[in-house]
């Protein structure tokens, strides 16, 4: 499934043709994707100007002049294609063919800019939903999401507080969208490697433990609150920031179905230091370890047992 950098790359590709333009005509060529379309889906889109195109975690959010917001999720195989006149954006150097079966072109937005924005989704795990802006915070798909990892509020202190009492592994905690929004398997593996932290490490070790009050005997109710960030938390947050910014700059990672809206593949997969490098020599300077893979919470984890502690 596309992760935060991939969705941000798609947002930036759609922004020039959608933002400030009006949806002259909208087509939903089937009744559903992962979920059924709302009965008034088309009616609430047509004639509306897209005043802004944002992102929340792995969701695209198109603000409409009506006060509605169009929420879009790419699912497993969803992608957008931009057609301007008779021309489509040409694929770049790292291109491999998209799905060419136009039977999977399920949603089309005809914009006043002259562009057509086409959503193609062979597996139909993607979805779209229109939500009133004032109800956005109560929307079940969004209300439980944690902070944006590139937002100002996400820092070592916040991550430490979120993990202070968790009994799960560090990797499982980072994949929990309630702890931090938008991270997925690829970037969690990369961030843990760069911070030299084991994916098996307990998440609670990112925070200091509670200790006895000064001058007071220790007891079950005589402790100060823990949760202060450890050096591990600071290293990890720095690594998360670095790997996400690098991936966005490179256009995201292109594994299996993900494409940019231009048809180009992202370049970041060429910068993986650990993900999908099982059996290769660790890239940490001075480390003689070998990258290993194991299954964790149903997902493949790649790590170096020698330098990630």
pLDDT tens-place string over residues 209-251: 864 445 545 444 333 356 799 999 999 999 999 999 988 887 6
Q: Is the pLDDT of residue 266 over 80?
A: no
Tokens coding 199: 């994916």
Q: Is the pLDDT of residue 262 over 70?
A: no
Which residues are identified as catalytic?
2-3, 58, 299
Residues 6+ apart with CB under 8 A from 286: none
pTM of the predicted model, to two decimals? Answer: 0.84
Closest CA to 228 of 245, 249, 204, 212: 204
How many angstroms separate the Cα of 201 from the Cα of each of 225, 268, 298? Answer: 22, 26, 17
SS3 state of residue 156:
helix
Kindly report, residue by residue over 65-112, the tens digit of the pLDDT. Answer: 999 999 999 998 888 889 987 666 532 232 234 455 788 999 999 999
pLDDT of residue 263: 55
- Residues 97, 79: Cα–Cα separation, whole Å: 13
Q: Which residues pair with 54 in a beta bridge?
A: 61
């Amino acid at each position: 499934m596309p992760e935060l950098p991939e969705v941000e790359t798609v947002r930036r590709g759609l922004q020039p043709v959608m933002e400030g333009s009006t949806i002259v005509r909208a087509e939903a060529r089937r009744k559903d994707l992962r979920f059924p379309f709302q009965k008034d889906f088309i009616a609430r889109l047509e004639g509306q100007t897209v005043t802004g195109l944002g992102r929340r975690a792995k969701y695209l959010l198109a603000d409409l002049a009506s006060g509605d917001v169009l929420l879009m999720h790419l699912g497993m195989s969803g992608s957008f294609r931009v057609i301007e006149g008779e021309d489509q954006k040409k694929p770049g150097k790292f291109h491999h063919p998209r799905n060419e079966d136009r039977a999977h072109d399920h949603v089309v937005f005809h914009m006043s800019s002259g562009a057509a924005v086409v959503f193609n989704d062979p597996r139909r795990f993607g979805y779209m939903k229109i939500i009133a802006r004032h109800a956005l915070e109560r929307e079940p798909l969004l209300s439980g999401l944690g902070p944006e990892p590139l937002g100002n509020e996400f820092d070592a202190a916040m991550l430490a507080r979120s993990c202070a009492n968790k009994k799960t592994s560090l990797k499982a905690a980072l994949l929990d969208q309630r702890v931090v929004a938008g991270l997925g398997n690829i970037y969690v593996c990369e961030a843990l490697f760069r911070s030299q932290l084991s994916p098996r490490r307990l998440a609670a070790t990112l925070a200091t433990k509670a200790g006895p009050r000064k001058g007071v005997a220790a007891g079950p109710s005589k402790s100060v609150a823990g949760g202060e960030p450890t050096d591990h938390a600071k290293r990890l947050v720095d690594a998360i920031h670095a790997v996400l910014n690098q991936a966005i700059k490179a256009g995201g990672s292109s594994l299996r179905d993900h494409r940019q809206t231009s048809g180009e593949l992202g370049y970041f997969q060429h910068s993986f230091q650990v993900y999908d490098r099982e059996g290769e020599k660790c890239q940490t300077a001075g480390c003689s370890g070998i990258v290993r893979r194991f299954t964790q919470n149903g997902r493949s984890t790649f790590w170096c047992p020698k330098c990630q502690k």
